[in-house]
Structure 1
Amino acid sequence: MNKTSAAATLLAYVILAAATLRVLAFWAADPMLAYANNYDQIRALRTFGLQPRDAKQELYAATPDQPWRYFVQADKRHTPTYPSSDLLFKSIQYGTMAAFAHGDGSMDIKVGTAPQLIGWLLGVWLIFRKLTPRPMAALGYAGWMLLVADPVNLLFLNTWYAEFSTFAVATLFVGIAWLWLFDRVSLRSALIGGATSLIFISLSRSQYMFLLPAVALLTGLALALSRPHRELLAAAPGKLALLALICLLPTLVYKTASEQIRTATSANRIDTVFGALLPASKDQDRMLERLGLPSGCLQFSGRNWYDTPTEQYQTHCPKVMSLSLGRIAKALVGDPTPLVTIIGNIASHHRGFLQNQLGHIEGSVHARIDTGGKMHHQSLDRLLGYFSASAIHLLLWFSILSPALAALAAWGLRQRRWAFVFLLSGLLFNYTLFSSILGDGYFDLARHAMLCFSFGILFLVLLISFIASGGQKTHGSPPLGESAALDGPRGPTA
């Protein structure tokens, strides 16, 4: 190893160590740093029958002013009202808290989140260690981890929200893609590890149920561009059918569980159609027609689930309550211009990814007002505050379109792996953004689109890494012929 490689490896270790220390410091902070409950944590609290020990609110009420560290068993356990793979993490969290409960029965959420924190960091370090024979690869992954180890994501750690486990698994998924990009794992291992990660993410909440099939479709198309892989796929129709069924599993789960999440779905459709799509449409009557809704629904344009009694929607526009995502997508194919307007509205009313409407600090009842600025200055998110609405607008479109342009450039340089990973990063960003908009309109967009923060930074890190490589092939990768589009490594390379 030459001096440059040694220095890059050392720097990578330092950067990832700094990211790890930042995460641990956030977890251990006293008073506790976490997002307060805006009600969504109730899904998990009710499942385990828990209540904040010192909260004065009635059972399962929202507590948006401050987060709570100590919980007590205040009710029996209930069947989950919302199916989610995150409940696997929350079951471990609850079991650990119960095992180490205090004498008075109170349970510390920090103790409960320790196992998932340790498991996540261990996974990150194992991926990083496997990357270290390729110093620039290790440096890129470590740099990305430092940037995303941010309050935007870490404030979800010591909570009952599902967001942190989704973020943690997403970083492992990116790590697996990074290993494949730099020829540190075989294609088969990357596909198995990536699919396992995506199954978890896609089952974490209904917003992500189409993510697995979307990535699978992109991967399948890329494999089809490689003659050996195309021939292999054609020779195994049975396996392809099984894989397709697995990819549809998250969709089937949430379609089957539609009765359990009917209220949430109804609220989401109302916020999407009346809060976002109709106001952004130049011809609202035509948009209603495309959506299959009667003209009487126009009276609700600009409203949302929370400012209008549900009975009014049920009386005057009941079809919106069960409107399918497919119908919304079909309407936007016929007229995509509302999405352009919506992107402009997001830029004009941008408030960053941090949720300053919620308390962040344990015991601080005025945290929503007094500590929002302090947390803002601990986050990379603060940089967006220096951008004008026009600059944010350009940044959004850059993040939406640039991965495809970078993929074209990489393809032109016969860098098939880079082209695929650029497209993958763009798919992840765009899916997170548009599934948030079409999932619940503008409501709580900072939380629903939280992963846009990490995936947007991912593209920038990939782009810098690609430019730093001078468009050269990754060391140890197979010859750059058509058959090398997604080939796995020929063996371990240093």
Structure 2
Amino acid sequence: MYFRSLASHVKKHHISILTYLLIAVTFLKIILVVFIDPFMGYANSYDFTRQSSCIGIWQSYSDKPKTEANRLYAVNTLIFDGDQRKQACLKSIDNAFPWITTVFHTFGDKIDFREIAFWKVAFLSILLSSLLFIIRGEINRLILAWLFFLVFSDLSNLLYINTLYADFSALLGLFFALFSIIYLISVKRTELSLSLILFTLCSLIWLGLSKQQYMPLAVLLGLIGSITLFLKGYKKSCIGILLLSLGLPLAYDQLNQPNSENMQSTSLVNKTDTFLQAVLAAATNKKQAIEKLRLPQSCLKGIGISWYGIENPDHHPCPEVESLNRFQIIDLFITDPRIFFIPMSKGIAGTYPYYPTYLGHLEFQNHNFQYSNQYELLKTSSLSYVFSKTIPQSVLSLFTLFLITASLIVCLLLVKSTDQNSYLKLFISINSLGSFVLFYSVFSSVFGDGYIELQRHGIGFLLGMNFSLTGFIFLLPCINYKKLLISK
């Protein structure tokens, strides 16, 4: 096998040095972005309110109410006033970080965003250290370090740390849940450990309880993990992960009651964006599509409009969308494929350039920092920047289709192989599951909230691309090595 042959020529300690060098560089960049002046973090699009209402830590402005949005620039001033508003609170496991911060403060204290960031980075460090300890083999640890470097040294991802968005927890949970499932698939039965299974469980819980959008993905990854354990003969562990996966939607609904005022209003907003802005606007025959959804013909006047285009919510052009179920879209896909392909194509293009361009991420007094050499280095050393410069937005949909198609072909071809090498399984899994996450991120964004904030809702898109390309690149020498052996 190629990687065993490579490892035999490269001393193990050299691989270990490279592994920890990648990790050290990643944490150095985290420190430079998160903790060093000037302050950097995405501005408040209004969604800070959802976490503030649960914890009682609010963005503090000098010229506007604390509940207002402030999209143009970041503000590094929070105030712990203890004001909790249940009707606006969105419960997420990410709320644990600001909650821990309040333990060290009293009402009226001003809080620096970086105090909350400290707990996020500390938890990230604990998870990485635990996984490095659990997995075996220098090559496996090197691949983990490489993927960790790609995802967590990227400026577009790091800017979520100094915010009250739950997106960083979604990213963190997705990274560790995805890699642990991938490693679970590739590792030999005799090398499976209870610590790996428990780590996988914890990662899935963190992902599933971070954001509603990524909760179904945690369920799907859990199902893949349970099937893997069943095939490897670990039936009790298989049942454990299966029950946990199926229980995540119930747990999320218990935290955020679907019939609560907050969840019902959010549902109407999201369904308006999904059905009026994306689904019905893409239909070939809009009248027929409306009939299939059993909506009144009066809804025709609302097609193409998002929630944010409605001047008066009391005069919603099609309030009946609130009663729709997203599973009804599947029938529309079958009768009119345009309803799938057009929104997906627009959704993929909408993730470009992989960070929310509509949000500032520097303080007002530090806007000139974006022209400095330090900022330029932080930006250009991020894979999101490299992708945005090498893959134009106009061809991003085609490139994504190529990645997904290539992943399916590679997976089908190599699964038939009798080669049971763990490295081959590892790279196939990284490639195929990375592409799956890439697809899911766009699909759940577009058919979850239309074209609204695609760059933020699709936070898993770039992570999926990192995994997919890494798996594909490392698979090539494996395939070439096998051909070389056959020719001999």
Percent of matched pairs sharing the same residue = 21
Instruction: Report the Cα offset of residue 423 of structure 1.
Output: 3.9
Equivalent of 2:98 in 81, 86, 90? 90
User: Relative to 1, partners in 2 of residues 1:348 and 1:424: Cα closer, same or farther, differing over 3 Å?
Assistant: closer
Counterpart code for 2:250: L
Instruction: Report the Cα offset of residue 472 of structure 1.
Output: 8.6
Q: 1:384-463 residue pairs with structure 2 within 5 A?
A: 384-414=388-418, 417-418=425-426, 419-463=428-472
8 Å Cα contact 1:358/1:367 also seen in 2:
no
Q: How far apart are the structure 1 equivalents of 2:407 and 2:251?
A: 26
Q: How far apart are the structure 2 equivalents of 1:211 and 1:163?
A: 14
TM-score by length of 1: 0.82
Q: How far apart are the structure 2 equivalents of 1:370 and 1:145?
A: 28
The number of aligned residues is: 461
Which whole-Å deviations, capped at 9, do the CAs of 1:298-325 have from their partners, x for residues lacking one? 11111110111354654x4221123222
Q: State the secondary structure of the residue aligned to 1:57.
A: coil
User: Relative to 1, partners in 2 of residues 1:365 and 1:28: Cα closer, same or farther, differing over 3 Å?
Assistant: closer
Q: How far apart are the structure 2 equivalents of 1:441 and 1:311?
A: 18
User: Relative to 1, partners in 2 of residues 1:154 and 1:399: Cα closer, same or farther, differing over 3 Å?
Assistant: same
1:78 matched to 2:78: no
8 Å Cα contact 1:94/1:112 also seen in 2:
no
- In structure 1, the residue matched to 2:257 is 256
Instruction: Report the Cα offset of residue 105 of structure 1.
Output: 2.7
Q: Which of 257-266 and 338-347 deviates more?
A: 338-347
1:139 matched to 2:142: yes
Q: How far apart are the structure 1 equivalents of 2:90 and 2:199?
A: 26
Structure 2 residues without counterparts, runs of 5 or longer: 1-6, 483-488
Instruction: Report the Cα offset of residue 169 of structure 1.
Output: 2.3
Question: What is the root-mean-square deviation in Å for CA atoms of aligned residues?
Answer: 3.4
Q: How far apart are the structure 2 equivalents of 1:196 and 1:168?
A: 12
8 Å Cα contact 1:137/1:182 also seen in 2:
no
- In structure 2, the residue matched to 1:322 is 323
Q: How far apart are the structure 2 equivalents of 1:409 and 1:237?
A: 27
TM-score by length of 2: 0.83
Q: Which of 356-365 and 298-307 deviates more?
A: 356-365
- In structure 1, the residue matched to 2:74 is 67
- In structure 2, the residue matched to 1:361 is 362
Q: How far apart are the structure 2 equivalents of 1:187 and 1:456?
A: 29
Q: Which of 411-420 and 5-14 deviates more?
A: 411-420
Q: State the secondary structure of the residue aligned to 1:51.
A: strand
Q: How far apart are the structure 2 equivalents of 1:271 and 1:240?
A: 34
- In structure 2, the residue matched to 1:340 is 341
Which whole-Å deviations, capped at 9, do the CAs of 1:448-467 have from their partners, x for residues lacking one? 00111011111111222333
- In structure 2, the residue matched to 1:200 is 206
User: Relative to 1, partners in 2 of residues 1:126 and 1:308: Cα closer, same or farther, differing over 3 Å?
Assistant: same
- In structure 2, the residue matched to 1:307 is 309
- In structure 2, the residue matched to 1:128 is 132
Q: How far apart are the structure 1 equivalents of 2:300 and 2:369?
A: 35
Q: State the secondary structure of the residue aligned to 1:261.
A: helix
1:285 matched to 2:287: yes
Q: How far apart are the structure 1 equivalents of 2:207 and 2:25?
A: 27
Q: How far apart are the structure 1 equivalents of 2:245 and 2:183?
A: 25
Q: Which of 416-425 and 111-120 deviates more?
A: 416-425
- In structure 1, the residue matched to 2:159 is 155
Counterpart code for 1:457: N
Q: State the secondary structure of the residue aligned to 1:217.
A: helix
